Homo-oligomer: A and B are copies of this chain.
Amino acid sequence: MSDRIEADYLIETPIDPADAAAVMAGEQSSGTFVKLASETPELIERAAARVQHVETIDTVAQPSLPGAIAAQSYAVAKVTLSWPLENLGPSLPNLMATISGNLFELRQFTGLRILDLRVPAAFTSHNPGPKFGIEGTRRLSGVHKRPLIGTIIKPSVGLDPTQTAAMVADLAEAGVDFIKDDELQADGPACPFEDRARAVMEVINLAANRTGRKIMFAFNLTGEVDEMRRRHDLIRDLGGTCVMVSLNSVGLSGMLALARHSELPIHAHRNGWGYLSREPMLGWSYVAWQKFWRLAGADHMHVNGLRNKFCEADESVIRSARACLTPLRPEAPCLAMPVFSSAQTPLQAAETCRQLGSADLIHAAGGGIAGHPHGAAAGVRAMRAAWDAAMNGIPIGEAARGNPALAAAIKAFDQ
């Protein structure tokens, strides 16, 4: 199997799942809607996708998605397909077309979701992968053996470069480890990238000279390839230590072009993820999807947060974060640091610590720090105290008794 690519799917189908799996394999390799003489047995042996596994797990009365062949009932099954590496080589954009392609539109399916994939070693050796990952992020940020406490510039839009830098100065004073641009803030006329970068890095460099530790600021350089490379170089030259990109905005080829050029950790934002995943019988599981981006060079991957403002259940969030911390291959783990965010406050620290079983994460609180009743510095202190307590097994209520910032955060956010 070492030179074959494998992908796992969850399917729902009005036909026999084994037949449905054969349709998938045909559509994504040598088949078409009529049998061609040129599709010889020798060609099939060499180039066709293979059905490795089909397992029916349920039957449902109603189709999850419209448009398919009608039936009395619909089988739910797990399917594994494989392809020879020879068909496409270790190219991530072509891997995307091969394992997803037209499958989701076929009339033989009332549901189809990609659950996972496994790639031969050629993919990890050919693609950039994370250049910094957990170890590099800790080295550049100076944060060890605990999560990076992060925040997001808010309001997301509307601040000019000077106002943004003033907010960074407050957060630097407060002792935060990590700050990111909001994904809505990139290079608009109201807050140009270069002006913002210069203003912010001046504040960060001054603070670093004072404290000996440099805040990691993820500048959102999402844009065209040449723009991203130029913005990256500016950040590097200003002494910055991180850049951010919206994955669904730039796509795999954009990300690869940035990653091959980059000398800084890449903070990968998943905004748009909902349209890929919100319907449980359609699209992508995060477990499969994040592998593309780690191979392409993501050092930090957004995974949502526990008790978030979105629809995702906590168990799904934890599964995503664990996936980022699971080696892609034994010889090339390509680990990315999971980023927990979305309505995060000190109240989620203990559960995040317990359920993830690791301190290798960035815990980003926007409103949860800026909205602290005593201000951002107290917000950071409360997050740090909550994590200290969590990692030492001390209940948050107990920890709050000696910590007014944490006590105030609990009072403000525990609703």
Q: Which A residues form the contact surface with B (CB < 8 A)? A: 28-36, 38-39, 43-44, 46-48, 65-68, 84-89, 91, 93-94, 96-98, 100-107, 112, 154-159, 167, 183-184, 186-190, 222-226, 228, 246, 248-257, 260, 271-276, 278-280, 282-284, 304, 309-313, 343, 366-368, 370-371
Q: How far is the CB of A86 from chain B (nearest CB, A)?
A: 4
How far, in angstroms, from A275 to B96 measured CA to CA in the complex? 12
Chain B proximity of A316: nearest CB distance (Å) = 9
A249-B67 in contact (CB<8A): no
Q: Is the CB of B249 within 8 A of A250?
A: no
In contact, B155 and A106 (Cβ under 8 angstroms) = no
Whether the Cβ atoms of B30 and A97 lie closer than 8 Å is no
Task: Choose from B47, B159, B254, B282 the contact partner of A93 (Cβ within 8 Å).
Answer: B254
7 pairs across A/B with beta carbons < 8 Å?
Answer: A29-B156, A32-B154, A39-B158, A67-B310, A94-B246, A104-B273, A106-B310
B34 contacts A367, C-beta separation under 8 Å: yes
Check A156–B32 contact: CB distance below 8 A: yes
- The complex places the Cα of A44 from the Cα of B157 at a distance, in Å, of 9
By the criterion CB–CB under 8 Å, are A274 and B155 in contact? Answer: no
How far, in whole Å, are A366 and B138 apart by their CA atoms in the complex? 54
Q: How distant is A39 from chain B, measured CB to nearest CB, in Å?
A: 5
Judge whether A47 and B158 touch: CB under 8 Å.
yes
Note all chain B residues with C-beta closer than 8 A to A39: 154-155, 158
Bound CA span A371–B184, Å? 50
Q: Do A105 and B225 touch across chains, with their CB atoms under 8 A apart? A: no
Each complex incorporates copies of this chain amounting to 2
Contact, CB under 8 Å: B249 / A94: yes
Please judge, given known A-B contacts A105-B278, A184-B101, whether A155 and B43 are in contact too, CB under 8 Å.
yes
Q: Are A275 and B104 closer than 8 Å at their CB atoms?
A: yes
* B311 A105 Cβ-Cβ under 8 A: yes
A283 neighbours in B (Cβ, 8 Å): 275
- Complex: A85 Cα to B249 Cα, angstroms: 17
- With A32-B154, A38-B155, A253-B249 in contact, do A275 and B313 touch (Cβ < 8 Å)? no
**B residues within 8 A CB of A246?**
93-94, 96-97
Instruction: Give the contacting residue for A100; candidates B36, B252, B272; CB below 8 A.
Output: B272
User: Which 9 interchain pairs have the tightest Cβ spacing?
Assistant: A251-B251, A104-B274, A253-B254, A67-B311, A47-B158, A105-B274, A93-B249, A105-B310, A34-B367
Q: How far is the CB of A14 from chain B (nearest CB, A)?
A: 12
Residue contact A154 to B38, C-beta cutoff 8 Å: yes
Contact A271 B188 (CB under 8 A): no
| B158 and A43 within 8 A (CB) | yes
- Closest B residue to A101 by beta carbon equals B271
Cα-based distance from A304 to B67 in the complex (angstroms)? 14
The one of B46, B154, B183, B312 in contact with A158, judged by C-beta atoms closer than 8 angstroms, is B46
Tell me if B107 and A311 are in contact (CB < 8 A): yes
Whether B274 and A367, one on each chain, are in contact in the complex, defined by CB atoms closer than 8 angstroms, is no
A107 to chain B: which residues have CB within 8 Å?
Answer: 309-311
User: What are the residues of chain B within 8 A of A112 when measuring CB–CB?
Assistant: 274
The smallest C-beta distance from A376 to any residue of chain B, in angstroms, reads: 11
Q: Are A188 and B88 in contact (CB under 8 A)?
A: yes
Task: Contacts A155-B47, A278-B67 given; indicate if A250 touches B33 (C-beta within 8 A).
Answer: no
**Within 8 Å CB of A47, what residues of B?**
155, 157-158, 190
Q: In the complex where A186-B88, A278-B65 touch, is A30 in contact with B254 (Cβ < 8 A)?
A: no
A66 pairs with B311, CB closer than 8 A: yes
Partner of A273, one of B89, B105, B183, B366: B105
Q: Bound state CA distance, A273 and B36, in angstroms? A: 26
Q: Nearest CB to that of A94 among chain B residues?
A: B186
Shortest Cβ distance from residue A98 to the other chain B in the assembled complex, whole angstroms = 6
Report whether B87 and A188 are in contact in the complex, using a CB–CB cutoff of 8 Å. yes
Q: What's the least CB distance linking A174 to chain B, in Å?
A: 15
